[in-house]
A and B are shown apart, each in its own frame.
Chain A
Amino acid sequence: MSFFAAKDLCVRVDGFALRGASFQLDRGEYLCVLGPSGTGKSVLLDAIAGFHDVEAGRIVLDGEDISRTPPERRGIGVVYQNHALFPHLNVFGNIAYGLRVRERDGARVRRRVEEMAESLGLSRTLDKRPGSLSGGEQQRTALARALAVRPRLLLMDEPFSSLDPPMRRDLRRVVRDVVGEFGITVVHAAHDLDDLWTLADKALVIEDGRVKAFGGVNAVLGPPCVPFLRRAEGVRVIAGIVLERRDGVSSVEAGGVRLATSDAARAGETVRLVIRPEDVTLYTEKPAGASARNVLESRVTGIHRAGETVLIGLRSERLEFNALLTRDAVENLSLAAEKKIFATIKAVHLNIV
């Protein structure tokens, strides 16, 4: 049985209806909920948290039906895009807020707040009011406040949208580390696909209040994929271990293949790599003297037409990825299922996320 499940969930809010949403997560999984603006992502999250009444369907958390449970008894933490920090409390007061509901021992509350502040790099800001913090510090505070009470599930509604790109990258790293450390299950409404590559195990796409796709990240990205993800169709997110870093190149073992990337990483580190179909070039013969550092002997596993272009599914050892070609190129290469082909990817195009 899954740790968290939404079953045929129907929610109506101010004339908007979320209909028949179903999905499930195992403990510790990270779900990204994607979809255009105003499509029901926030309604879904608020319904899970208990802020909107469920018209039909069930929400099950850790074996318990919480569809009618008041928010304060669900054990679900929330982090919003606008941080929603209590402006009348300082950072300490914000992080301690939920702890003080549960714990009368002031010394234990202080210890826990200091632990959380340490984990999220907030130790120097505990006396500050939210208004005097940077956007990143505010979001870290919101995260620390939510995690301090050890929620069973964490909901994040576009938590990075109000931050500038460098701060977003920093905070994604923080979230990945902290969520990993706490082993917490997360549902994250996102607008930016970088959140998907960087953080998610699973993806859910909602359009017009209905779930259009749900599954593992690579499965949802297809091909084929739903129209909302068309610009990212065939992108592959793969996990690997960094073997070494030498001469500006990191060697990563992923799916039985040794890949080179120009992105910096420490030896022994587990990383995620993104292979974009448009960065893959195919050759019928092994290219000699090519500048690309990754030359992968591969087999064609599928040919998917996508309008004027074609996505070629490829496998090299256990590594699966896609290449985006024109129809002309497919004909020139005489591509067919199981055909042996050489794929190249430049090290600068293979990114650690």
Chain B
Amino acid sequence: MRRVSLARVLLVGAAWAMAATILVALASLVLTPSWTRLLGALRSAEIAYALAFTLVSSALSTALVMLFAVPIGYTLSRVRFAGDRLVRTLLYLPMALPQIVLGLCLLLLFGAAPLAQALHALRIDLVFTRTGVVVAQFFTAFPYAVRVLKSTFDAIDPRLEFVSRSLGCSRLETFRRVSLPLARTGLLASVSIAFARCAGAFGSVLVLAGGMRMHTETLPVAIHLNLSYGNLEMAVAAGLLLVLLSSVGIYAVEMMEARP
């Protein structure tokens, strides 16, 4: 008979216990409030606004994140330059910062003269505005995306790009025909992570854009506002939608990855 070690039993048991805890925590979202009031909350104008605004702002900020993260991630992977380690550290730093501190930094940067005045002259106001939500989401998600993309490009043999160039393709053409297709999985993962980080950004959004009902109200902000007012069903409705968004995002990436 096969012997099972005690250590193995304990480790597998710990993994199951952790998974079960997460499942129960997620289930409590559905089980705690009354279903009738929860459905009412889901149909409310505020939750509809928060959902639509979260989707739109996260889509915009994810697009912006990818616009910057793809070339920067590629450059960090392929180019050695003076101070590259310092640049990487600074780019990844927001991952280690509490979001509220990141929000505070952004508020001080974009809220104080002369940058605020310069942006205002260009009709861009970031503090307590919906544009501010996008900016806060951008800075929250960018480090994660760039890190995933750098690792993705690191894993692509540079000799494939050398061969492509020897066959007549320019740097840009090589990037389009070789690097990007081979980075597909990493790109999808990066989009998924960036979108989830944007949709879930709270501290940075609250500090830079403020938690204004039906204005800068994303789903995380809706949870915060409604919990403050004691509207548990509204908070749970927003929480459920966030879980749903994240699950759909991860599932979509899984499906796309599975495609040949």
Contacts and interface: CB of A to CB of B under 8 A. Distances in A.
Contact of A82 (B157, B165, B166, B170): B157
Given A72-B169, A101-B173, A102-B168, A87 B182 contact: yes
A76 B178 contact: no
A98 to B, nearest CB: 3
B3 interface: no
Interface string B1-32: 00000000000000000000000000000000
Interface stretch (A44-52, A167-175, A190-198, A206-214): A44-52
Interface in A146-163: 146, 149, 151
A237 B159 CA distance: 34
B81 to A, nearest CB: 13
B164 A97 contact: yes
Contact of A149 (B157, B168, B173): B168
Contact of B165 (A71, A88, A149): A71
Nearest to A99: B167
Interface string B222-238: 00000000000000000
Interface string B159-182: 110111111111001000110011
Contact of B167 (A14, A46, A80, A149): A149
A203 B145 CA distance: 49
Interface string B57-77: 000000000000000000000
A86 B178 contact: yes
Secondary structure of the B contact surface, majority rule: helix
A46 B158 CA distance: 12
A14 B158 CA distance: 15
B162 A77 contact: no
Interface residues of B, number: 18
A145 interface: yes
A149 B160 CA distance: 17
Contact of A72 (B157, B168, B182): B168
A267 interface: no
A80 B160 CA distance: 10
Interface residues of A, number: 26
A146 to B, nearest CB: 7
Contacts of A276: none
A51 B173 CA distance: 16
A80 B162 CA distance: 10
Nearest to A42: B159
Nearest to B174: A72
A58 interface: no
Interface in A26-79: 46, 49-51, 70-72, 74, 76-78
Contacts, number: 62
A97 B167 contact: yes
A314 B167 CA distance: 47
Contacts of A49: 162, 166
A84 interface: yes
A199 B154 CA distance: 36
A78 B182 contact: no
B157 A84 contact: yes
Interface string A91-104: 00000011001100
A84 B168 contact: no
A39 to B, nearest CB: 19
Given A86-B178, A88-B181, A88-B182, A145 B162 contact: no
Contacts of B170: 70, 72
B217 to A, nearest CB: 43
Contacts of B80: 14
B159 A101 contact: no
B166 A74 contact: yes
Contact of A51 (B162, B167, B177, B181): B162
Contact of A101 (B157, B167, B178): B167
A71 B162 contact: yes
B27 to A, nearest CB: 41
Nearest to A81: B159
A149 B168 CA distance: 9
B166 A71 contact: yes
Interface in B134-167: 157, 159-160, 162-167
Interface in B102-122: none
Contact of A98 (B157, B160, B168, B182): B168
A205 B78 CA distance: 30
Contact of A78 (B163, B168, B177, B181): B163
Contacts of B169: 72, 101
Interface of A: 14, 46, 49-51, 70-72, 74, 76-78, 80, 82, 84, 86-88, 97-98, 101-102, 145-146, 149, 151
Interface of B: 80, 157, 159-160, 162-170, 173, 177-178, 181-182
- Enumerate the 9 nearest inter-chain pairs by beta-carbon distance, A residue then B residue, closest first: A98-B167, A101-B168, A71-B165, A84-B159, A78-B166, A88-B181, A84-B163, A51-B162, A72-B165
15 contacts: A51-B162, A51-B165, A72-B166, A72-B168, A78-B163, A80-B159, A80-B163, A82-B159, A84-B157, A84-B163, A88-B182, A97-B167, A97-B177, A101-B168, A149-B168
Given A50-B165, A82-B157, A98-B166, 14 more contacts: A51-B162, A51-B165, A70-B170, A78-B166, A80-B159, A84-B157, A84-B163, A86-B164, A86-B178, A86-B182, A88-B182, A98-B167, A101-B167, A146-B163
